[in-house]
Structure 1
Amino acid sequence: MPERVRAETPPVSFDDYAGRARAVLAPDVWDYVAGGSAAEVTLAANRTALDRVAVLPRVLRASHTVDLGTRLLGRPYAMPVGVAPMAYQRLVHPDGELGLAAAAGAAGVPYLASTLSSTPIEQVAGAGAEVWFQLYWLRERALVRDLLDRVVAAGCRALVVTVDVPVLGRRPRDLRNAFQLPPDVVAANLPQGRDALAHSGAPGVSAIAAHTDASFESALRWTDLAWLREHVDLPLVVKGVLDPRDAIEAVRVGADAVVVSNHGGRQLDGVPASVTMLPEVLAAVGDRCQVLLDSGIRGGTDVLRALALGAAGVLVGRPMLWALAVGGQQGARDALVLLAAELRDALTLAGCADPAAAADLRTLGAG
């Protein structure tokens, strides 16, 4: 009886979604989603560093209602959260990108669509969310131009350029599993047949890494982002910044926001946790652009921590894939409702009537 009751209880934390997702996903798919690079030091550090951040609440400032609303890139959203860009979402559930985008739309938060989406951007943009398109710079400039034309035509609200993937980080779990995409999951935004390497497995080889390294430009430069700023009339977000000097350079080329991110611990192992570098990046750019935090967010308390440190908002990644795996579109909707409830509780307990008020809170242990 106790086991049956637990199985029927809805998830009450993102950890609950993680446990249930692991039970339903194939082991190699779980490893692809959950794993990090090399020894996974940075993967673990993201959580350790967030857990070290203590927020000092204010008292006798309670409000009858807490308004979670905020503005990101000049547009209103229901809370300071976006769904992070993640590849091949149909790996975890048939609803895939369409389900997760619809869930983001229902929650009133932006959905960041990946270049390596398993659903074309035109379909994702019609799923009900405000879509920001995440760009991996491809080796062929003509393909980049074509993709950008499609992004603009689809009505995407922003362009997010990921800058920390000159090559894919070495991910031992995928190497051990000889991980490859199943035939029905494709890189839907790329020309047909361009992802053949991603479906060609061999012992000790990650087909995903082989495809990525063959497709992505490994020598992306700031001049490329300057070209992009001149040719695409969308807010520009630079994702994958850790060094404050790079944040300053992003502002120089016209970025409207930067995302402090170590790619969820999936690129260079041994780099600092994203939240560790957040205060330095904020100090470097001041009010010249918005700063978002990515990597390791696991609930409303983490969102409060980021806001208290000065971030405009956060991107949530793996937990949304866990929820999608567990319950498809409805699971993802439920997870975002849960996150909103956790954030509302956290703000209330911290004495904040809205996300902006969290910036006045003191924090300890962020360094």
Structure 2
Amino acid sequence: MKQNRPPLTAIPAEIRCAQDYEIVAEHFLAPDRHAYIAGGCGREITLAANRSAFDATRLWPRLLRELGRGHTAVDLFGRRLVHPILLAPLAYQTLAHVQGEIDVARGAAATDSGFVLSTLAGRTLEEVAPHAGEERWFQLYFQAERRHTLDLVKRAEAAAYRVLVVTLDTAIKLPSLRAQRAGFVMPEQVVAASLTDYPEPAPCVIERGQSRVFQGVMAQAPGWDDLDWLLSQTRLPVVVKGVLHPDDARQLQARGVAGIIVSNHGGRSLDGVPASLAALPAIRAAVGAGYPLLLDSGIRSGGDVFKALALGADAVLVGRLQIYALAVAGALGVAHMLRLLREELEVCMAQAGCATLADIGPAMIFKETEEETRC
């Protein structure tokens, strides 16, 4: 079995910005594991679109603004966060580091960063909780049986997770073509630790002429009634992750969902969908001002964070960068990466003339006129 290179106990000198972790991590991850983590689904059209959307967005700075009382604090779900950068839920982080999500939680706690634990984490939600800061959230996948879903919810409540992040759009999970071509196979010791006490669901019986997809996998996919049931079962704010269409956003808001994460899961779900950043403005317009809206997919710098906030997000979630930093230097790497992102955001705010996140809005984005585009 291909093995990772052991993580460092100090930050490598070549790390100059947060995105450098993406480059350096390739030397610490076994090639097949790197392919699994870095790859997107299909032909990776959406994976590329996420980055292209950020690169194509231009800032429009202002001069001589008063910045002496500047800060990055944001209010979310009745609590104040010192900055708007959270760690997105990522499955099986023990692929990158033996401590996995425990070290990621430690890095988040050291930098006062929000942390979202995946249902498919390599460590149990109870193991991880004591190492995370107060702003720890739990990402929930509906299980085949409601009693198992409810048990996960009650375990998360008991372990003082503060928000439930429900993913609704990934009932079908396929390994990326990049991972398959690299020969990736999930190691036996890497498991979804929080699910080991629940029996595997009985396989669907597919009759002749039926579809393995529609009558098979999708037979256990959640529906609107499952979401309504979940909302009635917990006291925690419920946030839905994986929203790209304004009509879905409106319906979720109307049903009592506390907030939305605009996300295409880093290009790992359905290939060919819009970049999360491109979908964001229409969703903000659909739900109106004041409704909590977060974004993930494609964040690599503090400037990217600024662009997402300007186009309608209240906060962002960082995906792959956290596991790259974990692979390079464990909890220390995660904390360093987050510190770099926050400082990059602060520098961008200062240079753009924004003292607080409230100053960052659509007016900070430069839009070329049709005539300028033709030129």
- For residues 257 and 106 of structure 1, the distance between their equivalents in structure 2, rounded to whole angstroms, comes to 26
Partner in structure 2 of residue 263 of structure 1 = 265
Partner in structure 1 of residue 316 of structure 2 = 314
- Higher mean C-alpha displacement, 252-261 vs 187-196: 187-196
Long gaps (5+) in structure 1: 1-6, 197-213
- For residues 32 and 99 of structure 1, the distance between their equivalents in structure 2, rounded to whole angstroms, comes to 20
Shift of 1:178: 4.3
Structure 1 position 36 matched with structure 2 position 21: no
Shift of 1:165: 0.2
Shift of 1:222: 1.5
Shift of 1:62: 3.9
Partner in structure 2 of residue 362 of structure 1 = 364
The alignment partner of 1:160 has SS state of: strand
Shift of 1:192: 4.3
- For residues 335 and 14 of structure 2, the distance between their equivalents in structure 1, rounded to whole angstroms, comes to 13
For 2:186, the aligned partner's letter is L
User: Structure 1 residues 216 and 162 mapped into 2: Cα distance closer, same or farther (>3 Å)?
Assistant: farther
Q: Do 2:85 and 2:342's aligned partners in 1 also have CA atoms closer than 8 Å?
A: no
CA displacement, residues 214-262 of structure 1 (integer Å, 9 cap, x when unaligned): 9997421122111111111101101000000000111012111101111
- For residues 239 and 360 of structure 1, the distance between their equivalents in structure 2, rounded to whole angstroms, comes to 23
Partner in structure 2 of residue 126 of structure 1 = 130
- For residues 49 and 135 of structure 1, the distance between their equivalents in structure 2, rounded to whole angstroms, comes to 28
Of 138, 142, 154, 1:137 maps to 142
The alignment partner of 1:134 has SS state of: strand
Structure 1 position 24 matched with structure 2 position 28: yes
- Higher mean C-alpha displacement, 186-195 vs 62-71: 186-195
Partner in structure 1 of residue 171 of structure 2 = 166
Shift of 1:361: 3.2
For 2:351, the aligned partner's letter is L
Partner in structure 1 of residue 296 of structure 2 = 294
Partner in structure 2 of residue 4 of structure 1 = none
Shift of 1:289: 2.2
The alignment partner of 2:298 has SS state of: coil
Partner in structure 2 of residue 69 of structure 1 = 73
TM-score by length of 2: 0.87
What is the aligned-residue RMSD (CA, Å)?
2.3
Shift of 1:65: 4.7
Q: Do 2:36 and 2:175's aligned partners in 1 also have CA atoms closer than 8 Å?
A: no
Identity %: 43
- For residues 299 and 19 of structure 2, the distance between their equivalents in structure 1, rounded to whole angstroms, comes to 11
Q: Do 1:167 and 1:218's aligned partners in 2 also have CA atoms closer than 8 Å?
A: no
Q: Do 2:61 and 2:352's aligned partners in 1 also have CA atoms closer than 8 Å?
A: yes
Q: Do 2:117 and 2:137's aligned partners in 1 also have CA atoms closer than 8 Å?
A: yes
Partner in structure 2 of residue 334 of structure 1 = 336
Larger radius of gyration: 2
Long gaps (5+) in structure 2: 1-10, 202-215, 369-375
Partner in structure 2 of residue 175 of structure 1 = 180
- Equivalent runs, 1:144-163 vs 2, <5 Å: 144-163=149-168
For 1:337, the aligned partner's letter is R
For 1:96, the aligned partner's letter is G
